[in-house]
Structure formats: structure tokens, C-alpha cells
């Protein structure tokens, strides 16, 4: 039998991602992940003297159930148990994995992607993503099992409904008192639909719900944090105090003020950072953001005496810098915010509670609070490309970037990078005028299309 080859980097920046039913998200590879994870887990010291057990959770995609059963079948093959949380958020899996007796957790989700995509993300007992060397070990074990030719099989799973409530109770315990606010909540027809309707009403929030009827295919479909139009309209129509939008696995949240203005992750970082500093709970007066965060955020932090450190894009890099510096707050403009006092990963529901707390305790509206940060004009363009090559090997692109830097003379920023999960080049420009932003995003994007070829 010929050995089966797999991608050199099966694990990407956020686990194994792909189209459900196609390699590497086919049944045999999902089963192989269970085998590999169970084999690895068997080598670790037992937790509190128990047999190793893995927690499995998923969002609402129609492929989630069979992928979960294949992972569980692989675990069973090597004598490792599986406990099924059913539909739950990614941070919910992280919390339950570290607070329970689970050797690891597996979250089945493709976050903000369409329903036909899915992913397998492995979380260690610590609640953090597995180290690169462990993922490399798992990848080798997956390749070995795929080459064996053995048949994959599913292990039927029953949902343990108590797990969602354990997580929701934990979240509720991070705040004090009630929230006499009227809020519109968009659950993206995703994982938040299982937890948010339990959480918010018990905290006294009057909620108008959007996108809480998942059917397996409508996750992120014209709803959630990537599609805020419906949320904006509903907030202004009913005169709500604010709106909250989650993505498919609810590890991020974006907000809409009472006037319908979008309040992104940068604004949330500023509100949270300023609040923590006033309370004496911001060690080193330090907040971690990424290269995508707006210059306006940096200027606003400077006015508050707060230092903002930038990392490459990705919650992995934000978290690494937070742990290195002892920071308690970090995040991304996209709404992925990490409060390390409470969680090991970005958590949209936790972020929503923190924002509600700030609005309530300040006695101000979200409109008023978010006016304290003045963003520079910014634009992000995604260019679909036929191939990815190091930017330094693209002379036309380099020439345009250098020309923009000369014109800006320190009054703007250019960030050009490739997506870690999609065939996209991302071009982000910030400048003092919209005209300059439009002109330079167009010029740099055109240079990328010229050198790498574009996909319509």
C-alpha cells in the first residue's frame, strides 16, 4: 500500500481547517485526529488519578455531529473516553477543559466562515492552544494512521446538557448585580444560541434576539459580527441601549451603539483598558494589540498614560505577548478580546459582559464612551490570489509600499500580509485622509494582483 501524504502543515493558525467532507476535514482524517490525540494523551500523567477523557464541542454547522463522532471513534480506538458538550462556544470548551478533568478539548468550528467549512481545534488541559511541537507530533501520528489503511468508524455521542450551564454560570459569576439595559443580541445562528439565551436574561438584561434559529446551514449567513446591518437597524428601530453581535463560535464580539454606530475591538480595548487602569487593575499600564489596531487607539491610550504593544495578527501572538509581559488585556480590532483574569482565550460573551458592566457603571451611553477614541480613516482590502509568495520577492508591491511610506512620513500605516487560513492577501491602510486611504489600498492591491494573479 502506498503511504498517504497529507499537507506539510496540517495544523494551521487555528487548528485543522477545510471544507467539511474533503481532506483534511474528511471522515478518516477526523478519526485519525482522535487516534493521534488519544495516543498522545495516554503518554501524559493522569489528571487526579482518572482515565484520560477528552471534551468535544461544536458550533451549529451540519457537519459538526459526524466530525465529533469520528473524533470520538478515534479516541475510543486507543482507549480514551469522550464527553460531548454538543453546541457550545470555543471559549466554553477552553473553560471546561481547564476547569474539569479533561486531558484535552476539541472544538469543531470554522468560526466566521460559511457553513460548508469546518475545523478541528485542539485545546490542552491548561485551556491554551497546543504548543507547535505537540501539533507536529499529532500530525505525524495522523499520517501514520492514515497510511495504515484501517477503517474509520463513528462513536455515537449523547450531549451532556449540564456542561453549557456550568460555563454560563461561570460567566455570570464574573459580574455583580443586574443590568437594567435593553440590548439587541445577534447570535449569528451559531454557538452563542445555546448559551446567550440562558445567560443574559438571568442578569436582568432585556434582550431582543436576532439569528437564534440555526438550521445547520445559516451560521454567519447575513448575520453575526461580519454582517452588522440587521443589528444596526434593529437597535435604532426599537431604541435599544446597544447591540451585540457574535461570530459563529462566539470567541469574538462586536457592538453597535444606540445611534447605530459600530463599536469595534479597538474601542472595546480602549474602554476596558481605561476602566481597568482607573480601578488599579492594569499591571504595567499595558495593553496588547496587533498591527491592525488603529493609530487612533494608540493615541487614545497615550492620552490615558497606557502603553500599547503591537503583535502580528492573530490571537496566538496577542496571548503570547500577554503571557510574556504579564498583561491582563489584549485583543484585535475584529472583536477578539482576551481578559486573562477570567479566560485563556478570546470570549465574545465575556467581552459583552465587560462592556455592559462599563456602560452601567459609568452612567454613560456606549455612543458617549466610544467618542473618546478618534479613529484614523482606515480601509482593509482582501485580494484573492492564486499563490502566496514572500512579499519581499514582489518588487512592484514593495515599490508601492515604499512610495506610500514616503508620502505618509509617519502620519499613516501600511500593513500587507497573507491570511493564515484563506488564499487572501490583506492590504490595510491608515492615513489622515480618506482620499489617501482609497488611493493607496487600490494601488497596492493592484500590484498584488499583477504579481500573484487574482481569483474572481
pLDDT tens, position by position, 221-251: 999 999 999 999 999 999 999 999 999 999 9
267 within a domain of the structure (yes/no):
yes
Phi-psi region of 343 (alpha: psi -120 to 50; beta: other; left: phi over 0): beta
Question: Above 90 in pLDDT, residue 454?
Answer: no
Do 208 and 297 share a domain, yes or no?
A: yes
Between the CA of residue 403 and those of 161, 391, 395, 406, what are the distances in Å?
57, 15, 12, 5
CATH code of the domain in which 443 resides: 3.30.310.50
pLDDT digits (tens, 9 = 90+) for 308-357: 999 988 888 999 999 999 999 999 999 999 999 999 999 999 999 999 99
Gap between the Cα atoms of 256 and 181, Å rounded: 14
- Residue 348: closest CA among 453, 250, 233, 452: 250
pLDDT of residue 411: 83
pLDDT tens sequence across 177-201: 999 999 999 999 999 999 999 999 9
CA dist 254 and 353 (Å) reads: 12
| The C-alpha cell that represents 227 in the structure block | 454582517
Mean pLDDT of 112-117: 97
Residue 294 confidence (pLDDT) above 50: yes
- Tell whether the model's pLDDT for residue 6 goes beyond 60: no
Question: Is the residue at 280 inside a domain?
Answer: yes
Domain of residue 437 covers 378-452
The answer to whether the beta carbons of residues 325 and 366 sit under 8 Å apart is no
Instruction: Write the pLDDT tens digit of every residue in 364-385.
Output: 999 999 999 999 999 999 999 9
On whether both 172 and 196 belong to a single domain, the answer is: yes
Q: In what order do the strands lie in the sheet with 424-430?
A: 378-384, 424-430, 413-418
Mean residue pLDDT across the chain: 94
Q: 198 and 298: one domain?
A: yes
Of the listed 63, 111, 257, 293, which one is catalytic?
A: 111
* pLDDT > 80? residue 37: yes
Q: Look at residue 4 and tell me if it is in a domain.
A: no
Band (pLDDT 50/70/90 cuts) for residue 14 is confident
- Does 85 lie in the same domain as 104? yes
Q: Could you tell me the sign of the dihedral formed by the alpha carbons of 355, 358, 363, 368, in that order?
A: negative
Integer Cα distance of 74 and 70 in angstroms: 6
Residue 3 has pLDDT above 70, yes or no: no
Name the domain count of the chain: 3
| CATH number for 287 | 3.40.120.10
Instruction: Look at residue 5 and tell me whether its pLDDT is greater than 70.
Output: no
Instruction: Tell me: do 314 and 447 sit in the same domain.
Output: no
Q: Is residue 64 part of a domain?
A: yes
Is 348 a member of any domain? yes
pLDDT of residue 48: 66
Percent of the chain with pLDDT over 90: 86
Are residues 88 and 221 located together in one domain of the fold?
no
Domain boundary among 121, 137, 160: 160
Give the confidence band of 432 by pLDDT, cuts at 50, 70, 90. confident
Quote the pLDDT of residue 313.
85
Q: Is the same domain home to 358 and 414?
A: no
Q: Are residue 361 and residue 385 in the same domain, yes or no?
A: no
Q: Are residues 418 and 351 in the same domain?
A: no
Q: Are residues 397 and 259 both part of a single domain?
A: no
Give the CA radius of gyration of the chain: 22
Query: What φ, ψ does residue 43 adopt, rounded to 5°?
Result: -85, -10
User: In this model, does residue 4 exceed pLDDT 80?
Assistant: no
Is 339 in contact with 351 (CB distance < 8 Å)? yes
Report in angstroms the alpha-carbon separations of 404 from 395, 399, 449. Answer: 14, 9, 18
Residue 404, pLDDT > 90, answer yes
Question: Would the pLDDT of 2 be above 80?
Answer: no
**Predicted pLDDT of residue 8:** 44
Quick one: 426 and 342 in the same domain?
no
At residue 131's C-alpha, the angle toward residues 126 and 135, to 5°, is 115
354/383 same-domain check: no
Confidence of residue 440 (pLDDT cuts 50, 70, 90): very high
Backbone angles phi, psi at 127, to 5 degrees: 90, -5
340 is catalytic: no
Amino acid at each position: 500500500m502506498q503511504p498517504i501524504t497529507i499537507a506539510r502543515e496540517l495544523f494551521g493558525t487555528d487548528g485543522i481547517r477545510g471544507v467539511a467532507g474533503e481532506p483534511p476535514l474528511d471522515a478518516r482524517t477526523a478519526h485519525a485526529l482522535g487516534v493521534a490525540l488519544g495516543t498522545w494523551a495516554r503518554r501524559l500523567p493522569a489528571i487526579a488519578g482518572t482515565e484520560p477523557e477528552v471534551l468535544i464541542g461544536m458550533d451549529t454547522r451540519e457537519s459538526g455531529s459526524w466530525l465529533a463522532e469520528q473524533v470520538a471513534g478515534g479516541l475510543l480506538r486507543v482507549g480514551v473516553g469522550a464527553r460531548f458538550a454538543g453546541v457550545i462556544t470555543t471559549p466554553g470548551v477552553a473553560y471546561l477543559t481547564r476547569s474539569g478533568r479533561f486531558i484535552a478539548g476539541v472544538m469543531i468550528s470554522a468560526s466566521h466562515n460559511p457553513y460548508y467549512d469546518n475545523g478541528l481545534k485542539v485545546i490542552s488541559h491548561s485551556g491554551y492552544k497546543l504548543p507547535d511541537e505537540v501539533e507536529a507530533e499529532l500530525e505525524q501520528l495522523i499520517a501514520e494512521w492514515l497510511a495504515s489503511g484501517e477503517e474509520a468508524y463513528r462513536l455515537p455521542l449523547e450531549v451532556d446538557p449540564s456542561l453549557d450551564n456550568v460555563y454560563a454560570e461561570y460567566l455570570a459569576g464574573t459580574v455583580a448585580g443586574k443590568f437594567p439595559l435593553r440590548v439587541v443580541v445577534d447570535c449569528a445562528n451559531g454557538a452563542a444560541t445555546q448559551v446567550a439565551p440562558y445567560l443574559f436574561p438571568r442578569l436582568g438584561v432585556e434582550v431582543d434576539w436576532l439569528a437564534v434559529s440555526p438550521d445547520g446551514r445559516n451560521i454567519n449567513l447575513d448575520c453575526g459580527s461580519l454582517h452588522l446591518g440587521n443589528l444596526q437597524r434593529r437597535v435604532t428601530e426599537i431604541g435599544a441601549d446597544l447591540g451585540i453581535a457574535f461570530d459563529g463560535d462566539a470567541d469574538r464580539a462586536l457592538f453597535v451603539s444606540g445611534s447605530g454606530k459600530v463599536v469595534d475591538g479597538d474601542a472595546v480595548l480602549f474602554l476596558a483598558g481605561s476602566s481597568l487602569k482607573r480601578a488599579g487593575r492594569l499591571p504595567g499600564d499595558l495593553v496588547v494589540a496587533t498591527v491592525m489596531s488603529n493609530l487612533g487607539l494608540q493615541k487614545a491610550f497615550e492620552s490615558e498614560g497606557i502603553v500599547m504593544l503591537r503583535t502580528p495578527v492573530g490571537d496566538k501572538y496577542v496571548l503570547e505577548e500577554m503571557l510574556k509581559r504579564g498583561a491582563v488585556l489584549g485583543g484585535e480590532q475584529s472583536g477578539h478580546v482576551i481578559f486573562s483574569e477570567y479566560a485563556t482565550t478570546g470570549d465574545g460573551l465575556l467581552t459583552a459582559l465587560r462592556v455592559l458592566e462599563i456602560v452601567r457603571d459609568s452612567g454613560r451611553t456606549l455612543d458617549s464612551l466610544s467618542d473618546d477614541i478618534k479613529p484614523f480613516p482606515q480601509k482593509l482590502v482582501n485580494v484573492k490570489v492564486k499563490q502566496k509568495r514572500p512579499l519581499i520577492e514582489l518588487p512592484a508591491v514593495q515599490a508601492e509600499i515604499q512610495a506610500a511610506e514616503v508620502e505618509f512620513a509617519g502620519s499613516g500605516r501600511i500593513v500587507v500580509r497573507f491570511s493564515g487560513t484563506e488564499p487572501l492577501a490583506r492590504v490595510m491602510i491608515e492615513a489622515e485622509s480618506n482620499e489617501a486611504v482609497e488611493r493607496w489600498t487600490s494601488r497596492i492591491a493592484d500590484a498584488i494582483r499583477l504579481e500573484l494573479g487574482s481569483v474572481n
